[in-house]
Amino acid sequence: MNLHILVLIPVLTALATLFFKELKQVRMIAFLGSALQLLLSFALLAAFYAERAAGNVAPMLFYSSFQWFPSLGIAYTTGIDGIAMAMILLSAFVVLAGVLVSWKMEKLSREFFFLLMLLSAGAYGFFISLDLFVMFFFLEIAVIPKFLLIGVWGSGRKEYSAMKLALMLMGGSALVFLGLMGIYFNSADIHGQHTFNILELSVRHLPLSTQMLFFPFAFIGFGIFGALFPFHTWVPDGHSSAPTAASMFLAGISMKLGGYGCLRVATYLMPEAAHAYSPYIILLSAIAIIYGAFATMMQTDLKYINAYSSVSHCGFVLLGIGMMNETAITGAVMQMISHGLMTALFFAAIGMIYERTHTRLLAQLGGLLKVMPFISSIFVIAGLCSLGLPGFSGFVAEMTVFMGSWQHVETGYRIATILSCASIVVTAVYILRAAGKSIMGPIVDDHHLQLSDATWNEKLAAVVLLIGIVTIGIAPFWLSDLIGPGVHGLMANIGRTILS
C-alpha cells in the first residue's frame, strides 16, 4: 500500500477548502476528507495484518524511498511498523472528531479547516517517515498552524499563549535539529557516506561519546513537545486558550509527536546514552506525574484541569520509555494512544459545555446533568478513563507501564514507580471533584435551564472517540499484539547495542 496517500489526502482536502467560502461547503469538504483518512487508516491496518499473516517479518512494511537531496543523503523514505500504525489510527480518530466538533466554526472557517488539515498532514508524515530530515520537516509543519489556530481563533490570553507555545516548541525544534545533525555527522560508514535513514542508522554504531553528547538534545527537544518537566509550561496556557478542535489536536496528536520522537529517534538510535541517562529521565517523569496531579487539584477552570492532567499523564509515557524494558515501553505506546483518545474526548466535552454556558469555571457550573445528559455523560466517562477505571483504555495503559516499571529492582526505580502509582489517588480526587461541581448537584445559574444538549455532529464526534477508548479497555490485546513486534524490534537493537 502506498503510504504517501496518507499525506496527500489531508493536503488535497486543505487545498480544496480554499476554493469555497460558505461554511456548509467548507465543513463538508473537511468532513469528507477526515472521514476518508479514517477509512484509509483502517484499510492500511487490514493491509498491515495481511502482510504479517503472509509471513512478511520486515521491520518496516510498505517501505519506499525516493531521493530528495542525494548529495546530502536526504531521501523521502517511508515505512511503518505496529507502533506507527497505532499512531496513524489515533490521528485519524482525533482528526475526524475535531472536524465534527468544529461544525459551527463561522469565523474564517475556510482558513480554520485548512490549518486543521495541514496539522493532520504533518502528523501522518511524521509517523511514516524513516528519514530523520523528513521527519523533522513534518514536525515543523505542525508548529505554525498551532500558533495561528490559538492566536486567531482562541480565547482569553490567546496572543500570549500562542506566542509562548510557538517559542517553546521552536526551541524544542532547535534542540531536535542539533541532535539530528549530531547523529548525521557521526554516521559515516567505511566509505565516508553519511545518512539520515533510521534503519541504516540503527545498524551503524554511533560512538558512545557522540551518543552522550547529542542524546540530551534529541530527547529534551522531543520531550518539550511531549510536556517533559520542567519544559511543560506551554501546555496549560496553550490548551486553555486554544479553540476546542485545536486543543484536541494539541493533546491528542501533537504531544504524541514528542513521545514518539523520544522513542523512535533518541532511545532507538542512541541506546547506550539512553541507558546512561535513564535515571534522570525517570526522575523528571516522576516529578511530572506527581506535580501535574497536584497542580490539577488547584485548578478551577475545566481546560486548565485537563491541561495539567495531560502533563501528569504524559509523564507516564516518558516513564515507560525511561525504564527501557519491553513491558514498560509497550505501556508507554499504549498510554500515548489512550491519552490521545481520552484527552480529545475531555476537551470535546469541555468545549461543548463552554459553547453553551460561556464559562469553564467550576464555581459557575453545576447541575448540568439535568439539562445536558449526553454531554455530562461523556465528560464523566472521559474523567473515569483519566483516573484509570477498569474497562477503559487508561487502566490498561497505566497498568502496563507500572508492571514494566516494577521489573527494575533498584531502590530509586521502585520509589519512582510507587510515587507514580500513588498519583492515581490524586487523579481520582480532582476528577471526581470536577465532575461533582460541574455536572452533579443543583443548577447554579437559572439560565442554564434553557440550554440544549449535544447536536448530532457532537454526538458522532464523542462516539468516534468512545469506540477507541472502550475497544482498548475491554479488548486490549489487539493493540498490544499490533505494537508488540515493533517494540520487540526496538528492544532488540537496544539490548544488542548495550550488551555488545
High-pLDDT (> 90) share of the chain, % = 42
Q: How many angstroms separate the CA atoms of 296 and 285, rounded?
A: 16
One-letter amino acid of 99: V
Alpha-carbon dihedral sign for residues 289, 294, 296, 297: positive
Mean local confidence (pLDDT), 414-439? 89
φ and ψ at 120, to 5 degrees?
-65, -35
The residue that leads in pLDDT, 447 or 335, is 335
Mean local confidence (pLDDT), 198-227? 90
DSSP-derived secondary structure for 185-207: HT---TT-----BHHHHHHS---
Q: How many angstroms separate the CA atoms of 138 and 125, rounded?
A: 6
Cβ 225 vs Cβ 159: under 8 Å: no
The residue that leads in pLDDT, 461 or 55, is 461
Cβ 338 vs Cβ 393: under 8 Å: yes
Q: Is the pLDDT at 407 greater than 70, yes or no?
A: yes
Q: Is the pLDDT at 8 greater than 90, yes or no?
A: yes
One-letter amino acid of 74: I
Bin 464: left if φ > 0, else alpha if -120 < ψ < 50, else beta: alpha
Q: How many angstroms separate the CA atoms of 252 and 471, rounded?
A: 17
Lowest mean pLDDT among 313-317, 348-352, 450-454: 450-454
pLDDT classification of 242: cutoffs 50, 70, 90: confident
Q: How many angstroms separate the CA atoms of 278 and 214, rounded?
A: 15
H or E stretch at 79: strand 74-80
What is the model's pLDDT at position 497? 58
The three cell numbers of residue 376 are 455530562
Mean local confidence (pLDDT), 265-276? 90
The pLDDT tens digits for 147-162 are 888 888 888 788 888 8
The pLDDT tens digits for 132-147 are 999 999 998 877 888 8
The three cell numbers of residue 27 are 465543513
Cα end-to-end span (Å), the chain: 37
Q: Is the pLDDT at 333 greater than 60, yes or no?
A: yes
Q: How many angstroms separate the CA atoms of 227 and 239, rounded?
A: 12
Please state the separation of Cα 426 from the chain's center in Å.
23
The pLDDT tens digits for 87-133 are 999 999 999 999 999 888 888 888 999 999 999 999 999 999 999 99
The residue that leads in pLDDT, 160 or 496, is 160
Which letter, b or e, does each residue of 282-302 get, where b requires 16 or more Cβ atoms within 10 Å of its Cβ?
bebbbebbbbbbebbeebebb
Q: How many angstroms separate the CA atoms of 135 and 87, rounded?
A: 14
What is the model's pLDDT at position 289? 92
Q: Is the pLDDT at 216 greater than 60, yes or no?
A: yes
- Look at strands 74-80 and 61-69 and give their pairing: antiparallel
One-letter amino acid of 210: T
What is the model's pLDDT at position 190? 62
Contacts with 437 (C-beta within 8 Å, 6 or more apart), sequence order = 362, 363, 365, 366
One-letter amino acid of 297: M
Q: Is the pLDDT at 236 greater than 70, yes or no?
A: yes
Give the CA distances from residue 147 to residues 57, 161, 170, 441, in Å, rounded to whole numbers and listed in that order: 41, 9, 11, 38
H or E stretch at 179: helix 158-185
Q: How many angstroms separate the CA atoms of 272 and 208, rounded?
A: 7
φ and ψ at 61, to 5 degrees?
-95, 160
pLDDT classification of 56: cutoffs 50, 70, 90: confident
Q: How many angstroms separate the CA atoms of 179 and 156, rounded?
A: 36
Alpha-carbon dihedral sign for residues 363, 365, 370, 376: negative
Cβ 305 vs Cβ 429: under 8 Å: no
The residue that leads in pLDDT, 346 or 144, is 346
Q: Is the pLDDT at 500 greater than 60, yes or no?
A: no
Q: Is the pLDDT at 498 greater than 60, yes or no?
A: no
Name the nearest CA neighbour of 132 among 81, 191, 66, 181.
Answer: 181
pLDDT classification of 439: cutoffs 50, 70, 90: confident
- How would you write 249-276 as a 3-class SS string? HHHHHHHHHHHHHHHHHHHHHCHHHHHH
Q: Is the pLDDT at 332 greater than 70, yes or no?
A: yes
For the chain, how big is the Rg over CA atoms in Å? 22
What residues does 74 pair with on adjacent strands?
69
Ordered alpha helix ranges (H), 301-372: 302-323, 326-357, 368-371
Contacts with 158 (C-beta within 8 Å, 6 or more apart), sequence order = 150, 151, 241
Lowest mean pLDDT among 65-69, 187-191, 323-327: 187-191
Q: Is the pLDDT at 292 greater than 80, yes or no?
A: yes
Q: Environment class of residue 203 by beta-carbon count within 10 Å: exposed (0-12), middle (13-18) or buried (19+)?
A: exposed
Lowest mean pLDDT among 40-54, 140-154, 299-313, 484-498: 484-498
pLDDT classification of 66: cutoffs 50, 70, 90: confident
Domain ranges of the chain: 4-494
Angle at 459 between CA 456 and CA 463, to 5 degrees: 135
Cβ 113 vs Cβ 99: under 8 Å: yes
* Residue 197 DSSP label: B
Whole-number average pLDDT of the chain = 89
pLDDT classification of 214: cutoffs 50, 70, 90: very high
Name the nearest CA neighbour of 116 among 152, 167, 161, 84.
Answer: 152
The three cell numbers of residue 372 are 445536558
Mean local confidence (pLDDT), 402-415? 86
